[in-house]
Structure 1
């Protein structure tokens, strides 16, 4: 179990495909050889310090969840046992061992579709399988952005300890 800070995410199409790059030496790269399922968690501006601390150490050496007081949950803030319908079988199987950060405002369960060797990095082609976001961040049911100025904007990590936020 691990959590990392990632940048260099680029969408490929409107069907949920995207690419990302990960250094082959990262602990997360090792874990993705064991399971191709991972969760993208979307943090808010007030989580910047925590995100930088997460990215400053390796889960190979440190239990980041304990060290940084990260609270985990099932993606979508519910349990996989709450999925009761037959069409939920794929979802249940996919998210069975997936974990998410409960303080984040959105969770997207993803699977690695292919991996290309790019020297020091893997270029991963991934697919968004299932997504959830807090209702207050789903403006008018169509756009992923906050419904009120009183809510913190969500972050995007630009690399080199730099963030952008969506207001």
Structure 2
């Protein structure tokens, strides 16, 4: 084993696909790219609600909108949008109307004012459930209040950031459902 810089440790724990976060504030919408999030509670057990923890800091244009409105949408893009996802993450909503600049379609959500992204595989409408860790860690706890998916979407492979500018694309699925005896709610 070789020692690894602590600043690179997260690269081995990236939890899931890169997502887009939309916000709406003062008549303006924004999209940001995010890969720092975690599932806190999946909502599959005893009627609990899905909770997601995500890190959005004051350096992000979306921070003020999320703090003020308490709402956002987490949209899950697929590999065909990978280049746009990276470009969205490399510019600021202070300077760019990202929906327009990247040819994405905002769709009205049902329970929040932030828009869904029509081109994405899934969209999760969220409200801030707990902001007690924002000042210290820039960590928002979001409650998913409505979820959408596009069953007609042919491309379903998501992208995962390695933390160094490279990405992994979902590949072959391995079916181990019959071995999930302890966690049948996940099958």
Give the TM-score taking structure 2 as reference length.
0.65
Question: Secondary structure in 1 aligned to 2:35?
Answer: coil
**1:160/1:30 CA distance change after superposition, 3 Å:** farther
Distance 1:98 1:118 in 2: 23
Q: Does the 8 A contact of 2:79 with 2:155 survive in 1?
A: no
Deviations 1:45-96, CA, capped at 9 Å, x for gaps: 0101000110001101111122112211124xxxxxxxxxxxxxxxx4x23x
Structure 1 position 156, deviation (Å): 3.8
Which one of the candidate residues 53, 56, 61 is aligned to 1:19? 53
Distance 1:30 1:69, change over 3 A: same
Of 141, 148, 151, the residue aligned with 1:125 is 141
Q: Equivalents in 1 of 2:97, 2:42: separation in Å?
A: 36
Alignment of 1:46 with 2:70, yes or no, is no
- Residues 1:161 and 2:165 are matched in the alignment: yes
The count of residues paired between Structure 1 and Structure 2 equals 136
CA contact (8 A) 1:40 1:110 kept: yes
Q: How far apart are residue 7 of structure 1 and its match?
A: 1.1
Distance 1:53 1:103 in 2: 16
Q: Which residue of 2 aligns with 1:135?
A: 151
User: Structure with the greater relative contact order (CA < 8 A, sep ≥ 6): 1 or 2?
Assistant: 1
- Determine the structure 1 residue equivalent to 2:128: 112
Taking a change above 3 Å as real, the CA distance of residues 54 and 132 of structure 1, as seen in their structure-2 partners, is same
Is contact 1:19–1:123 with CA below 8 Å preserved after alignment? Answer: yes
- Please give the root-mean-square deviation of Cα atoms over the aligned residues, in Å: 2.1
Alpha-carbon distance change, 159 to 130 in structure 1, aligned in 2, over 3 angstroms: farther
Instruction: Supply the distance in 2 between the matched residues of 1:49 and 1:125 (Cα, whole angstroms).
Output: 28
Structure 2: how far apart are the matches of 1:39 and 1:158? Answer: 23
Equivalent-residue separation in structure 2 for 1:158 and 1:117 (angstroms): 25
Which 5+ residue runs of structure 2 have no aligned equivalent?
1-28, 44-49, 172-187
The answer as to whether partners of 1:46 and 1:152 remain within 8 angstroms in 2 is no
- Find the aligned partners of 2:56 and 2:128 in 1 and give their Cα distance: 12
